[in-house]
Structure 1
Amino acid sequence: MIRIAIVEDEEKEASLLKDYINKYGETSNITFHIDWFKDALNLLDNYTPRYDIIFMDIEMSHSNGMEAAIKLRQLDDVVTLIFVTNMAKYAVKGYEVDALDFIVKPVRYPTFSMKFKKALSKITSNEDISIMVSRKGGILRLTSRQIIYIEVTGHKLKYHLHEETIEGYGSLSDLEKQLQACNYLRCNSCYLINPQYISQVQSHTVTMTNGDELQISRPRKKEFMLQLADLLGEGKNIKL
């Protein structure tokens, strides 16, 4: 599922964008989860990088979308950002915060669908693979971007996401091989973590963006830190 945030203080404009997103999803057989924020401050408060695309109004009554985008990029330089504005002059400034595009109001569906397709192409081109989770009652599909970390407890696997934890069955070692292309790391024998969601590493503890503190085992610490340093050195959009 692709997660989208709409930051727009006008309910009518936000509803229009939501309708366009759902219309595109129905014709393209894509499922979206959409959150609406009336103010950029509400988006940035306790922000975690859980969205794939953010539509950001620039001129809002209680906040400035361009200033909010600067703060957003300090927290998340991966999310695809699209500005929605009455003023085309802001387009140039958008490049300063790595905005993919901008849409001028009033938003028309043909223009929206063209730019939305461009955004979807960008996020699907990122390294992201599907994980089929075997669990009681059937199989659930997750994507590597959704997962903060995976934990093994006994014979069960726990997939820790932003808003829930899903239990399934399988081998953590098999998942490690499957997620190698996405640079997942083992900090000990119990955890396989998505480095995009590392908030802090201190001594023998790694803190994830959801606040969970995971232990780094002594035997794995050297390799873990070397791998993390390599990812940071390659500019893999990891912020500590």
Structure 2
Amino acid sequence: MTIRIALVEDDEDDADTLSSFISKFFNSDHSKFSIIRFNNGDDFLEKYSAQINLIFMDIEMPGTNGMASAQKLRKIAPETPLIFSTRLSQFASIGYNVDALGYLLKPLNYHAFVIPMRKAVKHIASRSTVTLTLCTNGRDEFVSSARIKFVEVRGHILYYHIDDEKWKIWGSLKSASEQLYDAGFILCNRYCLVNPQWIDSINGNTLTIGSDTVTISRNKKKKLLKTLLQYHES
């Protein structure tokens, strides 16, 4: 999924520094993140969208300061990850009143940035689910992607491994991949999509998901391992 990041910062140099840190964290892969910049808290609150996954908020800003903006934010978005930045260390303790994941003390430092950033990405990944409507046994069922371990295709039939069951659904793996893209599912071969949170181990060209084993094709392995490493490092 692409993580949508709001950067609320009135200082251009600090905004540029945070943008460079974010780019470095994701290895400059812009398919994994996008940044929306705001100059102050009032502008951010006016244009806030539920599509935003992560917020960096400066505390000392003209108009409505970062702390007051965060208090207003929590009334409409109680769980969106929030990281403060400030030149004043005494603001750190009150940041937890609005459930901030952490704070960055200016001048900004990349190594200090990485710690709350990893926490934020992990938080986002744990909540990055989509809901699918699957027709099984003649009726539509709503299924959270978090319950799906992997999806395999045989002919024109998809087999969704959900909890301890296997659901048989007519469809294509391409359509399933598009539906599960934002949930972070990984294509491990031309016939199978896997949910990284269910992968127990990888041994050679085989991965284990509970009592099931799935083959990793040679041309998919490098990308799969990279994606899986980023998933666990976050």
Q: TM-score, length-normalised on structure 2?
A: 0.55
- 1:50 is displaced (CA, Å) by 1.6
Question: Where does structure 1 differ by over 6 angstroms across 4 or more consecutive aligned residues?
Answer: 27-30
Give the alignment's Cα RMSD to 1 decimal: 2.6
Answer whether contact 1:47 1:75 (CA < 8 A) is retained.
Answer: no
- 1:121 is displaced (CA, Å) by 1.3
Between the two proteins, the alignment pairs up a number of residues equal to 143
Q: For residues 63 and 16 of structure 2, what CA distance do their matches in structure 1 show?
A: 19
Q: Is 1:179 equivalent to 2:150 in the alignment? A: no
Instruction: List per-residue Cα deviations over 1:119-163 (Å, max 9, x = no partner).
Output: 11122122x23xxxxxxxxxxxxxx3xx9xx9xxxxxxxxxxxxx
Aligned to 1:84: 85
- 1:91 is displaced (CA, Å) by 1.1
- 1:172 is displaced (CA, Å) by 6.0
Answer whether contact 2:134 2:143 (CA < 8 A) is retained.
Answer: no
Aligned to 1:34: 35
Q: For residues 83 and 48 of structure 2, what CA distance do their matches in structure 1 show?
A: 18
Aligned to 2:19: 18
- 1:57 is displaced (CA, Å) by 0.2
- 1:20 is displaced (CA, Å) by 0.5
Write the mapping of 1:3-152 to structure 2, written as runs, cut at 5 A: 3-26=4-27, 31-126=32-127, 128-129=128-129, 144=130
- 1:62 is displaced (CA, Å) by 2.6
Distance 1:180 1:19, change over 3 A: closer
Larger radius of gyration: 2
- 1:56 is displaced (CA, Å) by 0.3
- 1:49 is displaced (CA, Å) by 1.6
Instruction: List per-residue Cα deviations over 1:39-77 (Å, max 9, x = no partner).
Output: 111111153322111000000123310000000000101
Q: For residues 176 and 21 of structure 1, what CA distance do their matches in structure 2 show?
A: 38
Q: For residues 29 and 37 of structure 1, what CA distance do their matches in structure 2 show?
A: 19
Answer whether contact 2:5 2:35 (CA < 8 A) is retained.
Answer: yes
Q: For residues 91 and 79 of structure 1, what CA distance do their matches in structure 2 show?
A: 18
Give the unaligned 5+ runs of structure 1: 130-143, 151-170, 183-240
Give the unaligned 5+ runs of structure 2: 148-234
Answer whether contact 2:5 2:33 (CA < 8 A) is retained.
Answer: yes
Distance 1:101 1:30, change over 3 A: farther
